[in-house]
């Protein structure tokens, strides 16, 4: 469903090139829930940006199913991304002038479709029914991240790519957001790839990978059931 082949990314700095990803191999299957762990600065966000087609690799390829992401023009890429992927960023990027409900339904509104029932159902799932008419600035950090989870699920994506909740979330809230994401994705049949530096956060996942020195290694597999 998503696949990375020999994925590399380096950045040019004044001090020369910094090679962050050195040949990542990764394949995700439908409805699989996977965590990528790795210390701060190891390239987790970089990896998610490449997988979502928001950034281009220095070498290597990303496939969404049979589609080679590098071969898609920007317009098609953006449309396919919104159809197939739900993105949750390290900063939640809620639109400040829209209500919580409108933020959840944002991807639908852009396409001229607004399914109010769906948006309300998701807000209920993340425990924020009472906040539908709030503006995001009136929410706590954890509540905002839960809105971001609901928003990512709105168009029923096959795959959710999630960067860890902001450092501003306390341990308890960060864990709650992760658990909510996993249980909701499982009930909706979406695959999840989430990244975090915090080992304690990820419990109920199918596979764990570790990103270290630019290489991704399988760290553990949970048998189904
Ligand atoms: N646009 C950029 N230009 C130059 N260097 C960058 C750029 N983006 C990221 N880097 C560097 O690449 C490395 C990996 O960054 P990345 O944000 O992917 O790490 P991360 O694993 O997500 O870290 P964190 O856990 O703190 O979010 C870091 O050393 C960072 O400074
Ligand atoms: Mg990051």
pLDDT tens-digit readout, 209-224:
999 999 999 987 776 5
pLDDT above 70 covers a percentage of the chain that reads 97
Measured in whole angstroms, the distance separating CA 18 from the mean position of its chain's CA atoms is 24
* Count of domains for the chain: 1
Of 77, 89, 82, 78, give the one whose Cα is nearest residue 113: 82
Please name which ligand lies nearest the alpha carbon of 46: 1
Contact between 153 and 122 under an 8 Å Cβ cutoff? The reply is yes
Please give the distance, rounded to the nearest whole angstrom, from the Cα atom of residue 154 to the centre of ligand 1. Answer: 29
> For residue 44, is it within any domain?
yes
Of 103, 123, 122, 142, give the one whose Cα is nearest residue 187: 122
Q: Which atom of ligand 1 is nearest to the CA of 38?
A: 21
pLDDT computed for residue 224 by the predictor: 56
> For residue 6, is it within any domain?
no
CA angle 96, 98, 104 (to 5 degrees): 105
* CATH number of 39's domain: 3.40.50.300
> For residue 118, is it within any domain?
yes
Of 193, 198, 205, give the one whose Cα is nearest residue 88: 193
> For residue 7, is it within any domain?
no
Domain holding 80, by residue range, is 27-56+72-221
pTM score, two decimals?
0.91
Q: Give the binding-site residues of ligand 1, using a 6 Å CB cut-off.
A: 11, 18, 20, 38, 40-46, 90, 197
């Amino acid at each position: 469903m998503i696949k990375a082949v020999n994925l590399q990314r380096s950045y040019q700095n004044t001090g020369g090139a910094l090679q962050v990803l050195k040949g990542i191999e990764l394949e995700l299957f439908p409805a699989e829930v996977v965590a990528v762990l790795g210390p701060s600065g190891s390239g987790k966000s970089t990896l998610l940006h490449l997988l979502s087609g928001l950034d281009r690799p220095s070498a290597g390829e990303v496939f969404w199913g049979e589609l080679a992401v590098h071969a898609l023009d920007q317009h098609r890429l953006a449309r396919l991304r919104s159809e197939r992927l739900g993105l949750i960023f390290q900063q939640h990027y809620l639109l400040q002038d829209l209500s919580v409900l409108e933020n959840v339904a944002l991807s639908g509104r852009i396409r001229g479709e607004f399914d109010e029932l769906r948006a309300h159902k998701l807000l209920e799932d993340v425990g924020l029914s009472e906040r539908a008419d709030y503006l995001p600035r009136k929410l706590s950090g954890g509540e905002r991240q839960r809105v971001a989870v609901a928003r990512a699920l709105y168009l029923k994506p096959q795959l959710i790519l999630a960067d860890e909740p902001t450092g501003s979330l306390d341990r308890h809230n960060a864990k709650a957001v992760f658990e909510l994401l996993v249980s909701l994705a499982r009930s909706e049949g979406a695959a999840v790839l989430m990244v975090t530096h915090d080992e304690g956060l990820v419990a109920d996942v199918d596979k764990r990978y570790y990103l270290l020195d630019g290489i991704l290694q399988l760290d553990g597999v949970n048998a189904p059931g």
